[in-house]
A and B are shown apart, each in its own frame.
Chain A
Amino acid sequence: NAGVTQTPKFQVLKTGQSMTLQCAQDMNHNSMYWYRQDPGMGLRLIYYSASEGTTDKGEVPNGYNVSRLNKREFSLRLESAAPSQTSVYFCASSTRFRDEQFFGPGTRLTVL
């Protein structure tokens, strides 16, 4: 089992460009999450999907959109990147029976 995988690992964008971060899990988990991690701010929830077909905003959703493509895949889209979106992005998943989440390796995004 690969667990949670994320692509790409690194990305550099110019202000105004768009991109999609991909996440997939092979643990048959129902819930999936997108976080950003910034120095001094900890991990903050952007969006989550409690089950296939549903998505909800987290703490910092502005400037992002998500798609729960199927049970395995949950993507995060930046429509018009801004320097404030420079961060490390983590995807996570969990079962519907327990709250512990399992994380991917992260995507390091720089917006110039």
Chain B
Amino acid sequence: EDQVTQSPEALRLQEGESSSLNCSYTVSGLRGLFWYRQDPGKGPEFLFTLYSAGEEKEKERLKATLTKKESFLHITAPKPEDSATYLCAVSFVTSGSRLTFGEGTQLTVNP
């Protein structure tokens, strides 16, 4: 069964303290890996798509990377406004365009 696992479940950082979130998936044919940000009471907001190992995408303080078994979302010098739940999702060759989501990492950045 295709699975997506995110760690840690929750992460507290001080403003400016860089860290990384992890998303691992069962290796059964990756079509694409997606990162989303979700604020409380809102729908997920699309951030990045990664298609192949070695690929990297950047947006402001966020950088997403992909290997054959996992993806990292690196947060450099975070600010309180980066506090949110970050979701990882994967589309597998066996499931077409359907996405399988991880349970998310709840990030809190304290000033």
Interface residues of A (CB under 8 A from B): 4, 31, 33, 40-45, 48, 50, 58, 90, 94, 96, 98-106
Contacts and interface: CB of A to CB of B under 8 A. Distances in A.
Contacts of A43: 44, 87, 89, 101
Residue from the set A33, A43, A98, A105 with the largest chain B CB neighbour count within 10 Å = A43
Interface of B: 31-32, 34, 36, 41-46, 49, 87, 89, 91, 96-99, 101-104
Q: Which 4 A-B pairs have the closest CB atoms?
A: A103-B43, A43-B101, A42-B103, A99-B91
Contact of B34 (A50, A99, A106): A99
Nearest to A6: B43
B55 to A, nearest CB: 14
A101 B43 contact: no
A31 to B, nearest CB: 6
Contact of A45 (B36, B42, B43, B99): B99
Contacts of B91: 99
B104 A58 contact: no
Nearest to A91: B43
B98 A42 contact: no
B63 to A, nearest CB: 18
A105 B31 contact: no
Given A98-B49, A99-B49, A99-B91, A42 B44 contact: no
A50 B101 contact: no
